[in-house]
Amino acid sequence: MMSLSGRYSNRCLHHGHSGGGCHECHHDCHDRQKPEDVLYDRMVRFINDLRAQGMPVGLRETGDMLTALELVGFEDRDTVRAVMRAILAGTKREQEVFDRLFGLYFVSREEFEKNRQAMAQAQAELEARRRELEETLSVNGKPIELREDLKDVYAKMPQSERDRLRDIADKFSGKMEHAPKLYEGFIRSVFMKSLLEQQMVLEDAAEGAMPLDSDADLMFRDISNFKDSEIPRAYQLIDQVTRRINGEIVARRKAAGRSAALDFRRTIRAGLSTGGALCRLKHKKRHSRRKRVVMLCDVSGSMLQFSEFAIRFIKSLSEVSDHSEIFLFSEQVQRVSPFALEDMSRFGSYARTSGVWGRGTNAGRALEAVMDVRPAVLTPHTVLIVLSDAKSVDLNRAETALSQAKRQAGGVVWMNPIPEAKWQYLRGVMRLKEHCDMVPCGTLDELARACAKLM
């Protein structure tokens, strides 16, 4: 049985908070929505979320879905899912997106009851910790002013982390009288750093908690979280996806070729076979120049796996580029011989023995080295693809080199494995993305979309 009440049920009408009490009202809200309103509200939110994920769900689809649901009823959750999916999702990728979101919005009744109890308990604990924050963490007798979301982060922190922050506040509060502003600023900055780090950890945990399975799981999961045993399957998925993208590109080229200008000479020659009647029009073929790609791959420690996935993608997309140059970099740069990566299964061992693997990242030096190569590899017909998390030393140098590279190359695309939501916390990302087209590539799905967009 599917529950009409799920993730967004039991909602406070004033502030939209779910759960037993609303902390903004400071009382138990009794003005709850009616079950049918909850259902429609959730359907609307669900469809909006599908649209936000790029699915073209129009009014017609919504109407048909509601008619279909009236027909099948809500007794069986799997049937409801199959019916909604058939109408709302039009491709395999859309089906995967649909399944991922459906699991979040519509839960089974048993699961809902379990979640509700857990949520009520968690809500009570969170409230207690928020009160604890206000009572215990104060500077000069005043509670530390924090944004509401950071208070929630504090409440969700492990006990050991909360104790550590409290110790720091206690330790330095004795020295406050010497330089109150200095120590207040110091304690505040320590707090902010810890809380922002914790926020990133919590976001990671939330992503990992999505109930996914099999291929969809691998396609949408953070690449850095892949287990070794899952890597071969990921390679197969990359093959499947690139085959599809190649097919799409060929079809697009073919369609584009047809609409080019008329080729009079060939049309008249073809007309000779029908007595001079120009029955078959011949069109000039549109000249399509494939791109030359230069890849600058960060192989500093954890970036190795991501770089390997990205290179596999780009190399397999034969329709995107017919020629590619690969450079590995960390603090040093090394040009990769074209024959060395014929067999991509050797990439890992090649990179590890290259002498550049596992060090820090100096993107500025690497970009300069690529620009200095003679004969020049960066030309107006080249696309420079940087595969890196942009956590580089000497950001000024990296910025300058990147803007120079952008002038030399036909385009610069920075594929970043860090999820876009976290970019705001990283100074290097925020500064470097001003000088190039930076695209999030944290998952295989994002990587595939970024590679397809290279066209």
Partner 1 sequence: MQEALNALKAKLNEENYIADDALAATLFIAMKLNRPLLIEGAAGVGKTEVAKAAARAFGRELVRLQCYEGLDESKALYEWNYQKQLLAIQMGQGREAGMSDLFGEAYLLERPLLKSIRAEKPVVLLVDEIDKADAEFEAFLLELLSEMQVTIPEYGTVKARSLPFIVLTSNHTRPLSEALRRRCAYLYIDYPDVRREIEILRAKLPGLDEALAAQVARAAAYLRQSEKVTKKPSVAESLDWAEALMALGAQELDEDSAAQTLGFALKNNDDIREILADDEFIRTIL
The beta-strand segments (E) located in 241-375 are 291-298, 321-329, 333-336
The size of the chain, in residues, is 455
Residues 328, 336 contacting (CB under 8 angstroms) = yes
Binding partner 1 by CB under 8 A: which of 4, 13, 68, 192?
68
- Work out whether strand 291-298 and strand 142-143 pair parallel, antiparallel, or are unpaired: unpaired
Residues 312, 402 contacting (CB under 8 angstroms) = no
Q: Which is nearer to partner 1, 43 or 119 (CB)?
A: 43
Give the C-alpha separation, 139 to 142, whole Å.
5
CB of 92 to partner 1, least distance (A): 5
Q: Which is nearer to partner 1, 70 or 177 (CB)?
A: 70
- The 8-class DSSP code of residue 21 comes to -
Part of the chain binding partner 1 (CB under 8 A), chosen from 232-240, 264-272, 331-339, 443-451: 232-240
Beta bridge partners of 334: 328
CB of 214 to partner 1, least distance (A): 10
Contact status: 393 vs partner 1 (CB under 8 A): no
Contact status: 71 vs partner 1 (CB under 8 A): yes
User: Which of the residues 247 through 276 are near partner 1 (CB under 8 A)?
Assistant: 247-248, 250-251, 255
CB of 383 to partner 1, least distance (A): 23
x-or-dash string of contact with partner 1, 83-112, rule CB under 8 A? x-xxx-xxxx-xx-----------------
Q: Which is nearer to partner 1, 34 or 254 (CB)?
A: 254
Largest CA distance in the chain: 104
Q: Collapsing DSSP states into helix, strand and coil, what is residue 299?
A: coil
Task: Describe the crossing of helices 35-52 and 59-72 by its angle, rounded to 10 degrees.
Answer: 140
First to last CA, the chain: 46
x-or-dash string of contact with partner 1, 312-341, rule CB under 8 A? ------------------------------
Q: Which is nearer to partner 1, 83 or 201 (CB)?
A: 83
Give the C-alpha separation, 363 to 380, whole Å.
21
Interface residues with partner 1 (CB under 8 A) are 56, 58, 60-61, 64, 67-68, 71-73, 75-76, 78-79, 81-83, 85-87, 89-92, 94-95, 232-233, 235-236, 244, 247-248, 250-251, 255
